[in-house]
Amino acid sequence: MARKPKRDLTMEEQLARGPLDLPFLMLVLMLVGFGLVMLFSASYATALYDSKPPVYNNPLYYIQRQAIFAGAGLVCMYIISKMNYQLFRPLSILVLGVAIVLLILVLTPFGVVINGAKRWLYVFLVTGPTFQPSEIAKVAVILFFAARLSKRDTELKPRFTRRTAWGRFLNWLEKAGLLELVPYGLVLGTVLLLVLLEHHMSGTILVMVGAASVLLVSGVKLRWLFILGAAAAAMLALVIVNTGYMTARVELWLNPWSDPSDKGFQTIQSLLSIASGGLLGKGLGNSIQKFGFLPEPENDMIFSIVVEELGLLGGGMVLLLFALLILRGYWLALHARDKFGTLTIVGIITLLAAQVFLNIGVVTNLIPNTGISLPFFSYGGTALMIHLAEMGIVLSVSRQIPAPKKD
């Protein structure tokens, strides 16, 4: 039987089969590998002395689970990187809808309470590992904004009748550049409200930062961004002042030694861990603070263990890798094939940069404790998979960057 002749690839298919950006990929792999090593070191003592199920004093409990999720996340990253990122345009509305539904489910009896906060869902709603729907909401907002705003230069501007005062007012809003922000404000406001109802201040800030970065790069008039940003900051300040647990966190941030044996204990132990590391650290695996002194050493406070064991140089190396990844991401955004690719990468990389800054700020007491993890390092399998999926989207865009012209 004669073979069918091969079909010629379309231009879209040819573009989607370009090479991955190797520097970005290598930086991601280095951070994942470094993160797994430090998680093993930071979690060993916690797991060893935990006799409750499902740990049962297994010192390898956390690293085994994280390694499995890391492997699955790398597979997801590879699969997504092979996709044509233009597919994310139509999918953005579906992803946003799913994220909103999941955020609503958190507020129902399906929501899971961990450490006094109700921000999680079981993967299978009633069983399985947990995840934070806010992690999905962050990237969902970015994709939706990028998909819509990438078309703003080619869409026809709405025109309203000048015969009525209302029509003239709408025309003024359109000319001033405010009317186009209304649908984005409604979407963002809905997501922010749901995240705020979870008492998740850091998640609220990250959603705002990701959305703002896309709006800024899309060409929206700066005066409205400044006005809306100031209004959002004022609202957050109002929420903090009128919410007991947030006000208490601000007070502890200003003086953690006011309650050294309870609420300020974690911050104090984090600072002691960092200070005891010195320039070169105590050596990999030799942390003292992880032996029951520093709460959650494998989660939000893992950077403290990094500095304690590897010193200022080791901590600086971690920050350098993140800085290189972020800079490379912005370079890819500048060279993306189209505006959708640019906006998508800018949103994802800005989100990553903000999360790294907030985590480092918390462990060094630069900002109030917001309970935020360090990407690629902190324990949390589903969060790691979501981060790697985001990196897959960036790599997908990198495949279609035009090759430099030869002289």
For the stretch 314-372, pLDDT in tens is 999 999 999 999 999 999 999 999 999 999 999 999 999 999 999 999 999 998 887 78
Cβ(100)–Cβ(191) below 8 Å? yes
Q: Mean pLDDT lowest for which of 120-134, 247-261, 285-299?
A: 247-261
Q: How many other C-beta atoms can be found within 10 angstroms of the C-beta atom of residue 361?
A: 15
- Predicted local distance difference test score (pLDDT) of residue 337: 92
Sign for the CA dihedral angle at 103, 106, 112, 118 comes to positive
Q: How confident is the model at residue 276 (pLDDT cuts 50, 70, 90)?
A: very high
Q: What is the 3-state secondary structure (H, E, C) of 241-254?
A: HCCHHHHHHHHHHH
Q: Mind giving me the DSSP string for 308-366?
A: HHHHHHHHHHHHHHHHHHHHHHHHHHHT-SSHHHHHHHHHHHHHHHHHHHHHHHHHTTS
Taking CA atoms, 49 is separated from 245, 291, 406, in Å, by 30, 9, 61
Cβ(77)–Cβ(122) below 8 Å? no
Nearest 5°: phi and psi at 388?
-70, -35
Residue in 386, 395, 405, 396 with CA at minimum distance from that of residue 139: 386
- Predicted local distance difference test score (pLDDT) of residue 126: 77
- Predicted local distance difference test score (pLDDT) of residue 170: 64
pLDDT of 98 > 60? The answer is yes
pLDDT of 260 > 70? The answer is yes
Identify the residue whose tokens are 């903090």. Answer: 240
Label residue 11 exposed, middle or buried (CB < 10 Å: 0-12, 13-18, 19+): exposed
Residue in 374, 306, 347, 345 with CA at minimum distance from that of residue 24: 345
Q: How confident is the model at residue 117 (pLDDT cuts 50, 70, 90)?
A: confident
Q: How confident is the model at residue 386 (pLDDT cuts 50, 70, 90)?
A: very high
Q: Which two tokens stand for residue 38?
A: 């430090």
pLDDT mean over 277-302: 92
pLDDT of 252 > 70? The answer is yes
Q: Which two tokens stand for residue 358?
A: 């907030």
Cβ(117)–Cβ(200) below 8 Å? yes
pLDDT of 85 > 60? The answer is yes
Q: Which two tokens stand for residue 64?
A: 């085994």
Q: How confident is the model at residue 169 (pLDDT cuts 50, 70, 90)?
A: low
